[in-house]
Amino acid sequence: MSDAAPSAVTEPSKESPATLPAVPAYTDGSARYINRELSWLEFNQRVLDEAWEASNPLLERLKFLCIVSSNLDEFFEVRVAGLKQQHETSSSKPGPDGMNAAEQLDAVAVRVRKMVDDQYRCWREQLAPGMAAEGIRFLKFHELDEASLAHFERYFEEEVYPILTPLAIDPSHPFPTILNKSLNVAVEFANKDLQAQYALVQVPRILPRVLRVPDRGSSYDFVFIGDLIKHHAAKIVSGVEIAGAHLFRVTRNSNLYYDEEETNNLLSAIEEELRRRNRGKAVRLELHDDCPTHIQEVLLRTFELEPQDLYAIHGPINFRRLMPLLGEIDRPDLKDEPFTPAPVLPPEADLFANIRKGDILVHHPYDSFRPVVDFIERAAADPNVLAIKQTLYRTSGDSPFVKAMIRAAREGKQVAAVVELKARFDEEANIRWARMLEEAGVTVVYGLLGYKTHCKAALVVRREEGAIRRYVHLGTGNYHPSTAKLYTDLGLFTCDEKIGEDVTELFNALTGLAQLQSSHKMLFSPFNFHSRMLEMVRRETANAKAGKKGAIYAKMNSLLEPQLIDALYEASQAGVEVRLLVRGICALRANVPGLSENIQVRSLVGRFLEHSRIYYFENGGNPDVFIASADWMQRNCFHRYETCTPIGDPALREKVAGILEDGWKDNVKSTQLQASGTYTRVRDGKEPFDAQEHFLRLAREAAGSW
């Protein structure tokens, strides 16, 4: 690996460079870049395809169906909400793909409608019948026997009815505020002479959404809470004849709006915005397809939505509510084979001593996450440790890292935590952690004005034989023990002196508002990560033009940054081999003659969520290999604090390159990006190779060797 020092770290850039070459189209007139939102929807389709995939265990297919709904919720709350705001304020201008907000909204509505239809067809034609055949049924009330009906009658009377609040809708009782993503029942009165024509029943979130039918032995029968309430609608609005009861759900804008430069207390400002999140502007209405047209029109008017914002569905509203059932249904034969990650070191091993012997690379979830937890827990208990510093972007509900830092602070160590309050949908949890840490004496910093702290870094300062040694962990994923079992990520333990100095400077910048002046080995956003990535792409281009081998292999979650995409196009035209594993959004068009014929892009969607970021540059036979917290997106390059770490040890460099190669070889779970922006399954005629199953097999073999 090249030992050339990165370029000097300078003042962070708050914006992506505005001047880009004119890029209207390639030869067939299509946009040079794929639209971000449509690319994301293609990713969600790949998740949905796994629900259709008959080779997956049945309950795992249900899991993928739930994930599709969860993903769509966030897509509407954030992306569609943002597009609507742009359109309504007339501030929309075409993006790099040439589409303005109105055009994107139209295209999104068409694509999502097709996806939702596909999702519910999967439920009706594949999953519900398949589960019924296995003794797992979701029943309507007319399908229940007398004993079950009597059970739910008692349940309604004792557990549900006392906490429901029907609200009549009339001129003196306007439509109440409907909380974001809450389940509601619109009850229509039959007597049109009444002043009120409707009543609204909001289903309290404290109630379970799916109820198990008792006394079914080894079978599993369920009913939905919404159906229970509809079944008893006449009792809820007693004394009034009802014409019908209809479930609906509204999704609202969940972006947080606050001016960091104008607020004196960021924590308080975010708390106030969180209270408003449930009442943001409506962006989507979901209801059953048997809901009468006049009810649909009333709801659309009430929420100030257009017909294209309405999704009439034939099946359960909100599949994500079925996710808890995956843990409740004891059918291991319908799930993935259980997996225990391989231990990295023996439990009694001295972690610090092993790091001193050489850098340690961990590949989660195949390698245990335990050493990462041990790194902080042992540092907290070690009398030779003087200081602990760590970033927390997302962590678990019962975080061992928070507990360890609290213990360390109480024992007199210098402890600093950089808690990112703006981690979307984790703001409340992070506020809670921040307060707990502060109360224990931990120095808590909420990040820097105008930036998110997205890097995953931990620094332990230890006194050894009269000298100070710095130990570092740098990762591609969050300090979150739960997601570490579900996401593929890489982490590096090192006591390399130069990397220790770089990470020290990073924390000083985060906590002291200082500017990073230079770095020895590491790259940082928003300072020199983008410029160095561009420089290395262009170096491969120059090498190819000089007749040398040029190769760029990378793995990331998303690829959007226009300058890097343009540099990859130039590299392709010079003959550089470009192979990209991009799980999610990809704005680059691959395999376009004259533009990107040497670029191939694949996406792997499988049992685990591919989350690691790896960058490999051939560099004339002396490869540069990095792991990073940053994708090639504008936000990661210019609006977030990120780390990018060189892999110096030759054996580890080879291991990381091997992870890239094995991911590329996958021809079971991988799809390949076409110039149109769609994806097709990789079917290369070779022996089937499932990369995740390959890594699981290696991990099981490693675990068996202990």
pLDDT confidence band for 522 (50 / 70 / 90): very high
Residue 562: C-alpha distances to residues 96, 331, 380, 569, 603 (Å): 8, 47, 44, 10, 20
Q: Provide mean pLDDT across the span 527-534.
A: 96
Fold identical between 102-334 and 524-704? no
Contact 606, 578 (CB under 8 A): no
The whole-number pLDDT of residue 8 equals: 45
- Answer yes or no: is pLDDT of 6 > 70: no
- Answer yes or no: is pLDDT of 152 > 50: yes
Residues 414-427: tens digit of each pLDDT: 999 998 876 565 56
- Answer yes or no: is pLDDT of 71 > 70: yes
Distance CA 336, CA 455 (A): 32
Q: Residue ranges per domain, the chain? A: 102-334, 351-519, 524-704
The whole-number pLDDT of residue 17 equals: 37
The whole-number pLDDT of residue 3 equals: 42
Helical (H) or strand (E) element with 252:
strand 242-252
Q: Provide mean pLDDT across the span 272-298.
A: 82
Q: At residue 328, what are phi and psi to the nearest 5 degrees?
A: -85, -30
Angle, helix 36-52 to helix 101-122, in steps of 10 degrees: 0
- Answer yes or no: is pLDDT of 633 > 60: yes
Quote the Cα angle for 394-396-400, to 5°. Answer: 110
The domain 351-519 having CATH identifier 3.30.870.10: the answer here is yes
The whole-number pLDDT of residue 258 equals: 44
Q: Cβ–Cβ contacts within 10 Å for residue 320, how many?
A: 18
Tracing tokens 């004394």 back to the chain, one arrives at 239
Among 79-83, 384-388, 701-705, which stretch is predicted with the lowest mean pLDDT?
701-705
Distance CA 556, CA 553 (A): 10
Superfamily (CATH H level) for 524-704:
Endonuclease Chain A (3.30.870.10)
- Answer yes or no: is pLDDT of 51 > 80: yes
- Answer yes or no: is pLDDT of 579 > 50: yes
The whole-number pLDDT of residue 282 equals: 93
Residue 11: C-alpha distances to residues 20, 525, 526, 542 (Å): 21, 10, 8, 28
Residue 32: C-alpha distances to residues 64, 584, 588, 693 (Å): 32, 18, 8, 36
The whole-number pLDDT of residue 224 equals: 97
Q: Provide mean pLDDT across the span 261-278.
A: 53
User: Catalytic positions, please?
Assistant: 454
Highest mean pLDDT among 248-262, 393-407, 436-450, 459-473: 459-473
Sign of CA dihedral 660, 533, 682, 574: negative
The whole-number pLDDT of residue 24 equals: 41
127: Cβ contacts below 8 Å, ≥ 6 apart: 51, 58, 61, 62, 65
The whole-number pLDDT of residue 161 equals: 95
Instruction: Report residue 167 as tokens.
Output: 């609200």
496: Cβ contacts below 8 Å, ≥ 6 apart: 359, 472, 521, 648
Residues 328-372: tens digit of each pLDDT: 999 999 999 999 899 999 888 999 999 999 999 999 999 999 999
What whole-number percentage of the chain has pLDDT above 70?
A: 90
Contact 135, 219 (CB under 8 A): yes
The whole-number pLDDT of residue 255 equals: 73
Return contacts of 542-546, CB within 8 angstroms, 24+ apart. 543/576, 543/618, 543/619, 543/620, 544/571, 544/574, 544/575, 544/576, 545/574, 545/575
Average of per-residue pLDDT values in the chain: 89
pLDDT confidence band for 283 (50 / 70 / 90): very high
The whole-number pLDDT of residue 222 equals: 97
The whole-number pLDDT of residue 425 equals: 56
The whole-number pLDDT of residue 491 equals: 98
The whole-number pLDDT of residue 318 equals: 93
Instruction: Report residue 344 as tokens.
Output: 């990295």
Structurally, what CATH architecture does the domain formed by 102-334 represent?
Answer: 2-Layer Sandwich (3.30)
- Answer yes or no: is pLDDT of 23 > 50: no
